[in-house]
Amino acid sequence: MKTTTLYTRIVLLYFLSTSTLSAQTEFSYRIINENVFTYNVFSENSLVNPDNLLQLNEQEIVNRFFPVGTFKKNEIKLQAEPKIFLNPLDEALEFAINELYLQYRVSDTFYATFGKKRINWGTANLWNPSNPFLQKDPFRIDNRLEGIVLTDLEYIGANFALNTIFSPAERLNRSTFAFKVSSEIRSLSYSFSYAFLGDEKQQFGVDFTLGANKFTFYGEGVLRNFSNSRLIDSEGLPEIDSIQNGFKNRDAEFVVGTMLNVLPRTILIAEYRYRSDFNNTESIENFKAFLPNSLPGYDPISMGQHSFFGQLNYMDTYSKYNISTNIFYDLTTNQLLCSPGLVYNGDDFKVEINPFIYNNSLSIYDFQGRVILSFFL
Amino acid sequence: MKNAIYIISILLTSLGNKPPMNQADPSRILEELDKNIFSLDMEFVMKMEVLKNEKVKRTYEMRVVKKDEKMRLDILSPSIERDRRVLNDGDNMWMYLPRSSKLIKIPFKQAFLGGDASNRDILRISLVADYEVIGGLENIEGELLLKLKAKDLKTAYNQVNFYLDTKTKYPFKQEMLSLSGKVIKTIEYADYIAFDQGYFPSKITILDQLRKDSKTIFTYTDLSKGTNKTDAFFTTASLSK
């Protein structure tokens, strides 16, 4: 709460200060408004949400506002992106700061950034295990995520780039420190990363993309000395995975994928994710047997070791209509989700229509219908 | 408005007064075309209009910077696409999506913003690097025909024919052919304006021969020779700055 108040003051000061800008400064702004309408049909056979145990609504409406302001003067850039979520059905208002940072260009090749900012590491489309800070919303990867508070030092050389990030916590040994080195050899781009995530948690990451005329092939993976899973043991208790100090028995997660240009305006995206520390057939039976107590370990898309994502996307000649079919499938749990999509892009507005069709006893819903109307001013 | 007056006055004073490119062999003409039009270091604002049955269906405006083997394109409008950026760093093409702060590598043959041109059509840097001359210059009914063949299968088109003005040797039409010799796309170069002691086509029209009702028109303004952007400007890391 205190943090939010502080950010509010900073944002107000920022916008007030921009009203007295000199002629040398550059100020730009845009307002993004997203109106999300969702209709839910609950699954009568759901093991996760029997008799609507979670008390979810049949209808949901959220109005999202993102006023984005950018101020540049000489070597300094200041960017603010507050987010305001209004839920008219529950009469709830949520306010937070997605981004608020100051970037100082020390030289053409060296940048220093302080504040709250989104960090986008990794090459995969849907899942980014090598990003220790943020994970995308697989239901809508366009969602504007909330950044992290950081100090970011970046060197951009002709042959390689180096990125170091320090994200503070209340105590130094709980803070996150990460760095990434990126380079490329002709059409192969790659990077290596390391992150200390506090409390002795560490991860080593690597990612790559290989570009060609008709496709790109990409992948990323990490080795961790800790686990992100919430496996349920035969007693119905969450397994506690201790931090490994050696290189043996590290947990691995990786994603490989391709973006294939089937026709000039038709693209096929396919991704596979592997997680060594996630449910196998036995542990998923434990999860089912001890529901709803095991609910914290629930994931609506993929709970097992092997997950697949496929998308076939067609865009018309004028980039106005976009039709896609999205399929998520988890081999271990047999979770299947199909989501065809239709997008209409105007010059300053966009309409997205997405039905979600579920086919599994673990699903909360049989069907969800979502319409998002966005305005870009 | 000032720019429009400037362009019109230049066009009026320069009609029939184009300084010809060096009279030379076909390879020399290809090099001159590359040097004066395709691989020139420059900055400009490009308007892209996608038309169906002569009616504009979509308009984009973007700032383009070219330097050596690299090219970067920042979309200025429409509002929905503002701040989207595309980079050809010599070996790869990248697109930066500001909405999700995401950077993706894009295939060369993908349609550029859904129009009639491919990414490679728009972001190609060097003609000489991709093609070589076949045969000599042919004079066909007062037009010079320069035939080029792809050096390898990586290029978007197997053969390219340039139709040149007999006096100036500047192109006014370009045909792109498939492996079977069929014309896939046609590019028309028009509205030459004085630029860098020569001329530059300020309007380029791409026609997809497989879809006769559709075409894409590019109009260039605010042209300036060279750029003061450093090499770091053409890196993926700088796209989000």
Which residue type is seen at A248?
A: K
Query: According to the model, what pLDDT value does residue B124 have?
Result: 64
CB–CB contact B100 A144 (8 Å): yes
Residue A235, Cα to own-chain centre: how many angstroms? Answer: 33
Closest chain A residue to B81 measured between Cα atoms? A347
Query: According to the model, what pLDDT value does residue A362 have?
Result: 81
B232 reaches A (C-beta below 8 A): yes
Query: According to the model, what pLDDT value does residue B173 have?
Result: 92
**What percent helix, strand, coil does chain A show, rounded to 5?**
10, 55, 35
Domains of chain B: 2-235 (2.50.20.10)
Kindly state the average pLDDT of the residues A314-336: 89
Closest chain A residue to B214 measured between Cα atoms? A317
How is residue B213 annotated by DSSP?
A: T
Nearest to A261 among B91, B104, B109 (CB): B109
Over the stretch B92-147, which tens digit does the pLDDT of each residue have?
888 888 877 778 888 777 777 767 777 777 766 567 778 888 888 888 877 889 89
Strands B171-177, A251-263: parallel, antiparallel or unpaired by DSSP? unpaired
Q: Is B33 helix (H, G, I), strand (E, B) or coil?
A: helix
Taking alpha carbons only, the member of A307, A168, A259, A313 closest to residue B114 is A313
CB–CB contact B156 A213 (8 Å): yes
With bands split at pLDDT 50, 70 and 90, how would you rate the model's confidence at A295?
Answer: confident
Q: Is B10 helix (H, G, I), strand (E, B) or coil?
A: helix
Q: Is A366 helix (H, G, I), strand (E, B) or coil?
A: strand
A377 reaches B (C-beta below 8 A): yes
Average predicted confidence (pLDDT) for chain B: 81
Over the stretch B157-208, which tens digit does the pLDDT of each residue have?
888 899 988 888 888 999 988 888 889 889 999 999 988 778 889 999 998 8
CB–CB contact A317 B109 (8 Å): no
B63 reaches A (C-beta below 8 A): no
Kindly state the average pLDDT of the residues A133-155: 90
Q: What's the full length of chain B, in residues? A: 241
With bands split at pLDDT 50, 70 and 90, how would you rate the model's confidence at B15?
Answer: very low
Query: According to the model, what pLDDT value does residue A24 have?
Result: 66
Query: According to the model, what pLDDT value does residue A219 have?
Result: 95
Nearest to A211 among B93, B116, B214 (CB): B93
Kindly state the average pLDDT of the residues B40-63: 90
∠ CA A360-A366-A367, nearest 5°, is 130
A259 reaches B (C-beta below 8 A): yes
Which residue type is seen at B60?
A: Y
Q: How far is A53 from chain B (nearest CA, A)?
A: 34
Query: According to the model, what pLDDT value does residue A279 have?
Result: 85
Nearest to A186 among B91, B120, B236 (CB): B91
Burial A157-186 (b: 16+ CB within 10 A, else e): eeeebbbebebeeeeeeeebbbebebebee
Over the stretch A161-178, which tens digit does the pLDDT of each residue have?
999 999 999 888 889 999
- pLDDT higher than 50, residue B11: no
CB–CB contact B111 A156 (8 Å): no
A315 reaches B (C-beta below 8 A): yes
Kindly state the average pLDDT of the residues A233-243: 73
User: What tokens does B91 get?
Assistant: 């070996």
Average predicted confidence (pLDDT) for chain A: 87
pTM of the model: 0.81
Query: According to the model, what pLDDT value does residue A46 have?
Result: 83
With bands split at pLDDT 50, 70 and 90, how would you rate the model's confidence at A343?
Answer: very high
- pLDDT higher than 60, residue A349: yes
- pLDDT higher than 60, residue B88: yes
* Residue A303: strand pairing partners: none
